[in-house]
């Protein structure tokens, strides 16, 4: 695989685009043009259209006009707020994993998306993602809308504040805000792959362009329905009942963003990694995180917010929201455990970083599946996600690419895994709007065999259709038995109530016994009726799926195709977009190497996230008169220079410097003079931020000479 990373960027981009085009044969087409109508036929069609439209509105009156459930809209707004808190959670999660000099810059890349993408979403993004389709693709296996638009959705100028989203029972405003949170956090995820080396404004530009070219089309392909059409695509389903995007029409399941959010962000992260340079020293030099405390707190906030991320995607269904909540909790716990167990077995110690990464991997993997799988399926997805993502993250050291904070290994791989496993563990018994996956077929076959054995020879017929016919007759017979048992139970209750009024306790015992027997007879009759009713439903589902040529692998194939499509689509466009932004910014998408050494907090923002330093100790830093940043005017760019110490061994020099930093400034005035201006010590070279070079050279030489026991021969200024 290493040959891939040595190819020039233009060759890789050209090859990917060609491969993408050849593999799926993309062909943009216009919608079919109907024949030109006559005046008479047009009048008749308009009359029929008005009649069917009125009937549809009457049929779906609960979702027409301004009729929406205020409680459901309130839940959506609550979920949106929970997703919103994931942004500071992500900022803390990423901020703890970088070096201290880049904490603020890394957190800014996540938090700024709230403003940069947030305003764009209200103006254009929502319309592009969920408006009526204005561009189509028609190829074998892929047929549907690519992107949408409606000027009514531009700042929601054509939408009333309490207007309902058809078939969803929530307001359009609530849907727009909730979906906006998804659009905001997705490009923020990409920043984790590029942390510690990208500039702020070029990344903001990349975010806007990426949302336009990648996120909005994918959201439309998966999640867009005919909400804003004049009439429904399917009159029986009504407005909001029919998917209009390529992947949605294909039957791909993505409950809360496995393809749209995580596969897209992971693929974009990998694309940018291949375009932009790695961090200096990677992978030869270890780069350690600054605070696992921040990362664990961030992981906790992400876990909390994810309940809104997945649970809010259930929209109006309270039962489904509960199911998504439970699946989210179980998968996160299972993945966190499986990651640290894997780490423990292979490395000897479980780490806080491993636990945090495992939790997020489980949350990522269960996202597309959370509303379609049962508890056992969620646990299985979580366990697999922890193990698979652990190995995916480990691969970066083998392949040599610099995925700074494992955005591709966790989100790209985890999202792809979850999307595919949705086709294995999904059940229509969990969500009737979903599909049956591999285990659903197996469960149905096993249950049919079990119930047939319990019902016995009462079910006649060789074929499934014949069995259904005999079951219909059996259901009528057993329903009559249930009705008779109900009548006897009512009669027994009535007699007991009459005797109870006569205040003769000795006469009640027999009547109580009769009531109990009638109750047991009714209970037994209900059970027998429920059994044959269940068997009939199972056989009818089996017949329907056979007629539709659905097999245990059908949904798995659909999920795999959708995941591959999303991965290739996002990767190819992101790869080209990274080149474009790099060109527009004249090569400044990544910062220069000198600024990287200093740290992005200072060079990009002119401030620091944490300036604890030695001032927390009782040594040198405690007696400094002013903070280091105050040694030069804030509006003047500091002078940077390097002093190299010749003579002492590198290890001895580092130990000596560390000892001096912990010492008392009153006993070493030269150290007090030098310390505020030193930024880094690499090898035998001290990097200075401001100060007069010759004075710093003399002071550093005097400060070091005594402790180095004569091994220091010279300190000179690097030119």
* Residue 37: pLDDT over 70: no
Q: Which residues, in sequence order, are bridge partners of residue 142?
A: 139
Out of 1.20.120, 2.60.40, 3.30.70, 3.20.20, the CATH code matching 611-717 is: 3.30.70
CA distance 85 to 361: 18
Mean pLDDT of 408-420: 98
Q: In the prediction, which pLDDT does 633 show?
A: 47
Q: In the prediction, which pLDDT does 507 show?
A: 67
Higher pLDDT, 107 or 511: 107
- Structural domain 2-36+68-437+554-583, CATH architecture: Orthogonal Bundle (1.10)
CA terminus-to-terminus distance, the chain: 40
Percent of the chain with pLDDT over 90: 61
199 with 96: CB under 8 angstroms?
Answer: no
Q: Which residues, in sequence order, are bridge partners of residue 714?
A: 646
Instruction: Please enumerate in sequence order all residues whose Cβ is within 8 A of that of 713, keeping only pairs 6 or more positions apart, or say none.
Output: 646, 647
* Residue 316: pLDDT over 90: no
* Residue 183: pLDDT over 70: yes
Q: In the prediction, which pLDDT does 665 show?
A: 54
Q: How confident is the model at residue 116 (pLDDT cuts 50, 70, 90)?
A: very high
* Residue 201: pLDDT over 80: yes
Q: In the prediction, which pLDDT does 319 show?
A: 67
* Residue 525: pLDDT over 80: yes
CA distance 600 to 608: 9
Instruction: Please enumerate in sequence order all residues whose Cβ is within 8 A of that of 270, keeping only pairs 6 or more positions apart, or say none.
Output: 193, 401, 403, 408, 412, 571
Q: How confident is the model at residue 69 (pLDDT cuts 50, 70, 90)?
A: confident
Tens digit of each residue's pLDDT (9 = 90 or more) over 227-251: 999 999 998 889 999 999 999 999 9
CB atoms within 10 A of CB 719: 5
* Residue 429: pLDDT over 80: yes
Query: Which DSSP category does 256 fall into?
Result: S
What tokens were used for 194? 């590029």
175 with 75: CB under 8 angstroms?
Answer: no
Indicate where the chain has its CATH 1.10.3430.10 domain(s): 2-36+68-437+554-583
What fold does the segment set 455-547 form as a domain? Helix Hairpins (1.10.287)
Highest mean pLDDT: which of 373-377, 399-403, 472-476?
A: 373-377
What tokens were used for 684? 């035998």
* Residue 481: pLDDT over 60: yes
β-pair type (640-646, 142-148): unpaired
Q: What is the DSSP string of 439-508?
A: HHHHHHHHHHHHHHHHHGGGS--SSHHHHHHHHHHHHHHHHHHHHHHHHHHHHHHHHHHHHHHTT-GGGH
Q: In the prediction, which pLDDT does 504 show?
A: 66
Q: In the prediction, which pLDDT does 484 show?
A: 94
Mean pLDDT of 453-460: 85
Q: In the prediction, which pLDDT does 566 show?
A: 97
Indicate where the chain has its CATH 3.30.70 domain(s): 611-717
Percent of the chain with pLDDT over 70: 85
* Residue 618: pLDDT over 50: no
Q: Dihedrals φ, ψ of 136, to 5°?
A: -130, 160
Mean pLDDT of 178-185: 97
Average pLDDT score over the chain: 85
Higher pLDDT, 631 or 386: 386
Q: In the prediction, which pLDDT does 194 show?
A: 96
Q: Which of 55-64, 354-363, 375-384, 615-624 has the lowest mean pLDDT?
A: 615-624
Tens digit of each residue's pLDDT (9 = 90 or more) over 622-656: 333 333 333 444 445 567 889 999 888 888 888 88
* Residue 11: pLDDT over 50: no
Q: Report helix, strand or coil for 315.
A: coil
């Amino acid at each position: 695989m290493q040959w891939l990373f040595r190819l020039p960027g233009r060759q890789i981009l050209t090859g990917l685009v060609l491969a993408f085009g050849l593999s799926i044969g993309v062909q943009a087409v216009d919608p079919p043009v109907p024949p030109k109508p006559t005046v008479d036929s047009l009048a008749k069609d308009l009359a029929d259209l008005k009649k069917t439209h009125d009937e549809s509105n009457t049929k779906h009156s609960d979702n027409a006009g301004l009729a929406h459930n205020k409680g459901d809209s309130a839940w959506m707004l609550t979920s949106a707020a929970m997703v919103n808190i994931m942004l500071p959670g992500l900022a803390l999660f990423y901020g703890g994993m970088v070096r201290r000099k880049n904490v603020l810059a890394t957190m800014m890349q996540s938090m700024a998306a709230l403003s940069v993408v947030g305003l764009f979403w209200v103006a254009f993004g929502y319309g592009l993602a969920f408006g009526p389709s204005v561009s189509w693709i028609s190829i074998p296996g892929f047929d549907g809308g690519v992107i949408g638009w409606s000027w009514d959705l531009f700042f929601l100028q054509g939408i009333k504040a309490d207007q309902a989203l058809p078939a969803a029972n929530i307001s359009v405003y609530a849907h727009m805000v909730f979906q906006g949170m998804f659009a905001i956090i997705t490009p923020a995820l990409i920043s984790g792959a590029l942390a510690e080396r990208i500039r702020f404004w070029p990344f903001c530009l990349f975010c806007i362009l990426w949302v336009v070219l990648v996120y909005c089309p994918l959201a439309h392909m998966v999640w867009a329905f005919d909400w804003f059409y004049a009439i429904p695509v399917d009159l029986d389903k009504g407005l909001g009942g029919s998917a209009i995007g390529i992947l949605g029409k294909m039957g791909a399941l993505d409950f809360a963003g496995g393809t749209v959010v995580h596969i897209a962000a992971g693929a974009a992260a990998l694309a940018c990694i291949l375009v932009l340079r790695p961090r200096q020293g990677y992978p030869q030099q270890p780069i350690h995180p600054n605070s696992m405390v921040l990362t664990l707190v961030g992981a906790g906030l992400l876990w909390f917010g994810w309940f809104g991320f997945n649970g809010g995607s259930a929209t109006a269904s309270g039962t489904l929201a509960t199911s998504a909540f439970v699946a989210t909790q179980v998968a996160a716990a299972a993945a966190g455990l499986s990651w640290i167990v894997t780490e423990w077995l292979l490395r000897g110690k479980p780490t806080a970083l491993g636990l945090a990464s495992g939790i997020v991997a489980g949350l990522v993997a269960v996202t597309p599946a959370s509303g379609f799988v049962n508890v056992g399926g969620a646990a299985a997805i979580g366990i697999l996600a922890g193990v698979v993502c652990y190995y995916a993250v480990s691969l970066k050291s083998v392949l040599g690419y610099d995925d700074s904070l494992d955005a591709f290994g966790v989100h790209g791989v985890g999202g792809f895994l979850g999307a595919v496993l949705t086709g294995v563990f999904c059940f229509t018994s969990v969500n009737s709007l979903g599909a049956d996956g591999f285990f659903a077929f197996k469960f149905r076959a096993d249950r049919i065999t079990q119930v047939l054995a319990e019902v016995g020879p009462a079910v006649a017929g060789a074929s499934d259709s014949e069995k259904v016919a005999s079951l219909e007759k059996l259901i009528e017979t057993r329903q009559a038995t249930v009705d008779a048992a109900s009548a006897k139970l009512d009669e027994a209750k009535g007699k007991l109530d009459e005797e109870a009024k006569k205040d003769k306790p000795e006469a009640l015992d027999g009547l109580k016994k009769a009531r109990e027997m009638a109750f047991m007879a009714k209970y037994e009759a209900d059970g027998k009726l429920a059994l044959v009713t269940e068997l009939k439903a199972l056989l009818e589902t089996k017949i329907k799926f056979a007629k539709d040529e659905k097999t245990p692998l059908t949904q798995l194939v659909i999920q795999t195709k959708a995941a591959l499509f999303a991965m290739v689509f996002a990767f190819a466009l992101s790869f080209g977009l990274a080149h474009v932004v790099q060109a527009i910014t004249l090569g400044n998408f990544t910062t220069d190497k000198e600024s990287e050494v200093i740290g992005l907090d200072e060079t990009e923002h002119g401030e620091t996230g944490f300036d604890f330093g030695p001032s927390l100790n009782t040594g040198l830093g405690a007696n400094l008169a002013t903070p280091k940043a105050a040694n030069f005017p804030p509006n003047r760019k500091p002078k940077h220079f390097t002093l190299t110490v010749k003579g002492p061994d590198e290890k001895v020099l580092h130990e000596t410097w560390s000892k001096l930093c912990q010492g008392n400034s009153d006993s070493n005035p030269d150290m007090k003079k030098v310390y505020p201006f030193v930024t880094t010590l690499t090898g035998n070279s001290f990097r200075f931020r401001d100060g007069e070079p010759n004075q710093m050279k003399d002071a550093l030489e005097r400060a070091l000479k005594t402790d180095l026991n004569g091994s220091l021969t010279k300190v000179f200024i690097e030119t």
